[in-house]
Each structure stands twice: as structure tokens, then as C-alpha cells.
A and B are shown apart, each in its own frame.
Chain A
Amino acid sequence: MSMRTPLKEVRRLGSAKEGADHFWTQRTTGAANLVLSIFAIWLAVSLIGADHATVKATIAQPIIALPLLLFVTSAAIHMRLGMQVIIEDYVHGEAAKIVLLMLNSFFAIAVAAASALSILKLSFGG
């Protein structure tokens, strides 16, 4: 019989048995970002000085839109996990930590959603 109180589960204290998943997700998205960020740099450089119509036409191509969508998604997951570790390392107040971890998730998801919506609008928005 476990002598542990259920309260620690609710407050997420102790090992949540999710550490390995965190590690592997960070490595998987890191490997994806290795390729996708080189693509993103190439895309940004190739669109320097281009007018809006060219930018729109370029991003509307599926061969560009797909890796760009993957880039913003993978980057958002990777940076959310990374910032989570930074917050857990330096913020020890319970309330501040919980609020910052929530804001971290909001920020990462908002950036990814805004980027993804824009890519889709450039692709399908007419």
C-alpha cells in the first residue's frame, strides 16, 4: 500500500514519471528543428526584398507551407519545454511558478497558432 498522500499528485510534487517523455520530446523536436530551422533561414534569406505578392505566392506553395507549418509547431513545442525548465530552475515561489508555467504554455501556443493561421491564410485565403 502506498503511504503517499494523494495531495502530492494534485500539486505535482515528486516524480510525475514524465521526465523521460520531456527529455525525448525535447530531443525529437530538436532534431526536427535542426533541419527545419535551416529551411526557415533559407526561406527568409530567399525572400529578402521580395514584394508582398511574391512572398504570398511563395508561402502558398505546399512545398513551402508544409515545412513552415512543421517549423513553427516543432519550435513552439521545443521552446515551451525549454522555458519550462528555465522557470522550474529559477522560480521557487509556488504561486509565481504556476502562473509563469501557464503563461509559458499560453505564449508558445499563441505564437504557434498565430503563425499557423497566417500560413494557412496565405495558402487558402485567396
Chain B
Amino acid sequence: MADAKAERGSQAARPLSPHLQIYKMPVNMLMSIVHRITGAALYFGTVLVACVLVAAASGPDAYATVTGLLGTWLGQLVLFGYTWALLHHLAGGIRHFIWDTGRGYKLETVDLLSWGTLAFSAITTVLIWLYVLFVAGGSAP
């Protein structure tokens, strides 16, 4: 793509139209994609919720096993990601509710809402996990 040589005859080499390599993604486009990805992640993440509930219903041993797995660094990492995905999808949902009313379509507002989604999910996720790790004493849930 970067090499814009014309192959035909003696035509001058002209620049090609903007392409993937130099395309700067607008933030609302990125947030739209992330909304779908977090939605899909949460879809499979519900297995975790079901596992915890089934384990709790099965008895103390099963519950200890599942919470033990979730307490490992990998389990904590998955739960951290789950928390962020849930909060990001939640914030994105609020953004879509605002757009559903027909408001917020000025370009500056679109950018503001999109960055706001990311800011909200990042800040709330960090706050929740600071609480989890330093106040509640780790090993969720």
C-alpha cells in the first residue's frame, strides 16, 4: 500500500486513498468495537458466575475448590478483566441509551461520551480492585 507506483504505462505514481496502515480510528469506532468484544467476553464469563453459584450450592468442598482457583494470580487476573469488561459494557450501554433518545450526536459530544466510557470503566475498575486487594483482603469472590 505504501508503495504507490502505477503499474500501467507511463502514468505518474499517485498516492492511494487513505488505507488501513495510516487510518486513525475515531474513538467512538474503537469504543463500538470494544463494546462488542466486552459483550462477547461477558457472554463466556457468565460460566464463571454459574460455576461459583453451582459450587456454593454443591457444598463447602466444591466452593473451596472454585474460590481457591479464582484466588490464584491467573484467577484474579480473569476476575479483574471480568470486572472491567462488565463496567465497560455497562458504561457503553448508558452511552447507547443516551444516543437512543436522539441526543449526543454532535461530534464533540460523541468523542466526549466515548472517552467518558473508557474513563468510567478504568476508574471504577481500579477503585473496586483497590478496595478488594487492600480493604477486603484479596481472593475474590
Q: Which residues of B contact A (CB under 8 A)?
A: 36, 39-40, 42-43, 46-47, 49-50, 53-54, 56-57, 59-60, 63-64, 83, 86-87, 90, 93-94, 96-97, 100, 128, 131-132, 136-141
Give Cα A110–Cα B56 distance, bound, in whole angstroms. Answer: 17
Note all chain B residues with C-beta closer than 8 A to A122. 53, 56-57
Taken together as a complex, chains A and B put the C-alpha atoms of A72 and B50 apart, in Å, by 9
Selected from B40, B47, B93, B141, the residue in CB contact (under 8 A) with A47 is B141
Q: Point out residues on A near B: beta carbons under 8 Å.
A: 27, 30-31, 33-34, 37-38, 40-41, 44-45, 47-49, 51-53, 55-56, 59, 72, 75-76, 79, 82-83, 86, 107, 111, 114-115, 117-119, 121-122, 125
Shortest C-beta distance, B52 to chain A (Å), equals 8
- How many contacts A-B (CB < 8 Å)? 96
Contact B39–A44 (Cβ < 8 Å): no
Given contacts A82-B39, A115-B50, contact A52 B136 (CB under 8 A): no
A37 to B121, CA, bound (A): 14
- A interface: dominant SS: helix
Contact A118 B86 (CB under 8 A): no
Q: Would A118 and B56 count as touching, CB distance under 8 A?
A: yes
A–B Cβ pairs within 8 angstroms, 7 of them:
A30-B96, A41-B83, A44-B140, A48-B138, A48-B141, A75-B46, A119-B57
B128–A125 CB distance below 8 A: no
Q: Are B93 and A118 in touch, CB under 8 angstroms?
A: no
Chain A: minimal CB distance from B66 (Å)? 11
* Minimum Cβ distance to chain B for residue A78 (Å): 9
Question: Do A48 and B56 form a contact, CB below 8 Å, given A34-B94, A82-B39?
Answer: no
